[in-house]
């Protein structure tokens, strides 16, 4: 075990000031960070416990949306009646993740920040550019069943493992952060990064910046949505492919469409150009199939994960069909159960 010091932050200003020093980590639920510390992957010299900060509330915004504090637990967020009624896509995605015990601890901010589940990242005996920049990537040419098919680089082919973030990407949430130089807001699409030449950077937070909340806009797509998660077993497993689909339909035609994919890239994957092309079309299998082709344009398997391309294609069409029919996957699950 590496030694580290520990402090409880009194307020956000103190947390960001202390957090800007080198080799410091915030700790929230600890469900990811503590595992990484035990495996010697993260070795912070100092932990700043943020659990005492007043960031555990869900509040209405002036724009008619919801502001979710960074410390709101995944279980509480999924169970909030406003989220269930107005943003059922988010609630479904949260309930598809982890286990009840983990969701009781896991926080909104921590979920955004959770690190990849690439096996090589977790094995310090292997080369990994994300863990040790410049050391290489043993996943490339290795066992790649869980790896990315979109947005990869020759430095890293890892995926982002979150379910919650896939729904938030489709809902076009915003991330509010506070740093040593003040507050700023990032569009959800700009929060996470693709690996490119810097796979050690998962996101665009600057040192010391703390996520304080995530804001949902008014539109929650509560009539036509579906979160479909395909995984190796029905519970307690990360997505091989997941799809967050949200539609507005008038007179059989699509007026708005948002689709984000999980399990396929280093960040939730969206193509707004493909969404534009589906807008105005009829909601049917033919237009959904053409959309899936566009969304997956450029997808490339690594061998073991070639199956993800066809799987994603079918999952996109199925999720959009469920959303259009008003029978989301979460209701289908209940009917099967
Ligand atoms: C066995 C297992 C299965 C899981 N399955 C799933 C799954 O199916 N789907 C899914 O989506 N997730 C899954 N998870 C991941 C889980 O959801 C995350 O571990 C959790 O959301 C992280 O939140 P936390 O509060 O525990 O973060 P912590 O472990 O406390 O922190 C994680 C990281 O976030 C940083 N951090 C935390 N809060 C903030 C903040 N406010 N601002 C800036 N940085 C911050 C920390 O410094 C750290 O780097 C699983 C986890 C486990 C252990
Ligand atoms: S895919 Fe990324 S996380 Fe996995 S070994 Fe390669 S560099 Fe590391």
List, chain by chain if needed, residues with CB within 6 Å of any ligand 2 atom.
116, 118, 120-121, 128-130, 137-139, 156-158, 199
Band of pLDDT at residue 236, cut at 50, 70 and 90: confident
Q: Write out pLDDT tens, residues 200-228.
A: 999 999 999 999 999 999 999 999 999 99
Report CA(129)–ligand 2 centroid distance (Å).
6
Report CA(105)–ligand 1 centroid distance (Å).
9
User: In testing the pocket of ligand 2, which one of 36, 42, 130 has its CB within 8 Å of the most ligand atoms?
Assistant: 130
Q: Write out pLDDT tens, residues 56-71.
A: 999 999 999 999 999 9
Question: pTM (2 decimals)?
Answer: 0.98
Name the residue at shortest CA distance from atom 27 of ligand 1: 110
Query: Can you tell me which atom of ligand 2 is nearest the CA of 148?
Result: 1
Q: Residue 250: what pLDDT?
A: 96
Q: Average pLDDT over the chain, rounded to whole? A: 97
Average of pLDDT values for 111-131?
98
Name the residue at shortest CA distance from atom 2 of ligand 2: 156
Residue 36, CA atoms < 13 Å, CB-side half-sphere = 19
- Residue 200: how many other CB atoms lie within 10 Å: 14
Please name the residues in contact with 310: beta carbons below 8 A apart, sequence gap of 6 or more.
none
Cα gap 205→201, rounded to integer Å: 9
Q: What is the 3-state secondary structure (H, E, C) of the chain?
A: CCCCEEEECCCHHHHHHHHCCCCEEEECCCCCHHHHHHCCCCCCCEEEECCCCCCCCEEECCCCCEEEECCCEHHHHHHCHHHHHHCHHHHHHHHCCCCHHHHHHCEHHHHHHCCCCCCCCCCCCCCECCCCCCCCECCCCCCCCCCCCCCCCCCCCCCCCCCHHHHHHHHCCEEEEEECCEEEEEEHHHHECCCCCCCCCCECCCCCCEEEEEEECCCCCCCCEEEEEECCCCCCCCCCEEEEEEEEEECCEEEEEEEEEECCCCCCECCHHHHHHHCCCECCHHHHHHHHHHHCCCCCCCCCCCHHHHHHHHHHHHHHHHHHHCCCHHHHHHHHC
List, chain by chain if needed, residues with CB within 6 Å of any ligand 1 atom.
25-33, 35, 50, 70, 97-98, 102, 105-107, 109-111, 113-114, 161-164, 210-211, 238
Cα gap 22→178, rounded to integer Å: 17
Report CA(274)–ligand 1 centroid distance (Å).
31
- Residue 99: how many other CB atoms lie within 10 Å: 10
Report CA(34)–ligand 2 centroid distance (Å).
20
């Amino acid at each position: 075990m590496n030694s580290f010091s520990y402090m409880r932050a009194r307020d956000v200003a103190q947390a960001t000031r202390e957090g800007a020093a080198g080799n410091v980590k915030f700790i929230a639920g600890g469900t990811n960070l503590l595992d990484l510390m035990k495996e010697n992957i993260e070795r912070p010299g100092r932990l700043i416990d943020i659990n005492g900060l007043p960031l555990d509330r869900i509040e209405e915004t002036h724009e008619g949306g919801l502001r979710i504090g960074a410390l709101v637990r995944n279980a509480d967020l999924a169970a909030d009646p406003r989220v269930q009624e107005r943003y059922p896509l988010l609630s479904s995605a949260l309930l598809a993740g982890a286990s009840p015990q983990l969701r009781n601890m896991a926080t909104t901010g921590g979920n955004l920040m959770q690190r990849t589940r690439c096996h090589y990242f977790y094995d310090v005996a292997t080369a990994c550019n994300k863990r040790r920049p410049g050391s290489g990537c043993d996943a490339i040419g290795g066992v790649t069943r869980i790896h990315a098919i979109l947005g990869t680089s020759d430095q890293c082919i890892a995926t982002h493992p979150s379910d919650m973030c896939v729904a938030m990407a489709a809902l076009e949430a915003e991330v509010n952060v506070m740093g040593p130089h003040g507050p700023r807001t990032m569009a959800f699409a700009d929060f996470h990064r693709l690996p490119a030449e810097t796979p050690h950077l998962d996101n665009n937070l600057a040192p010391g910046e703390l996520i304080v909340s995530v804001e949902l806009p008014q539109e929650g797509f509560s009539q036509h949505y579906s979160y479909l998660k395909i995984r190796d077993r029905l519970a307690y497993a990360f997505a091989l492919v997941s799809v967050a689909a949200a539609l507005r339909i008038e007179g059989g035609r699509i007026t708005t469409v948002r689709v984000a994919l999980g399990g396929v890239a280093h960040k939730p994957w969206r193509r707004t150009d493909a969404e534009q092309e589906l807008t105005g079309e009829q909601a049917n299998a033919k237009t959904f199939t053409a959309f899936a082709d566009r969304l997956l344009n450029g997808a490339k398997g690594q061998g073991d994960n070639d199956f993800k391309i066809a799987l994603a294609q079918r999952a996109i069409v199925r999720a959009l069909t469920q959303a259009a029919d008003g029978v989301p996957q979460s209701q289908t699950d209940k009917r099967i159960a």
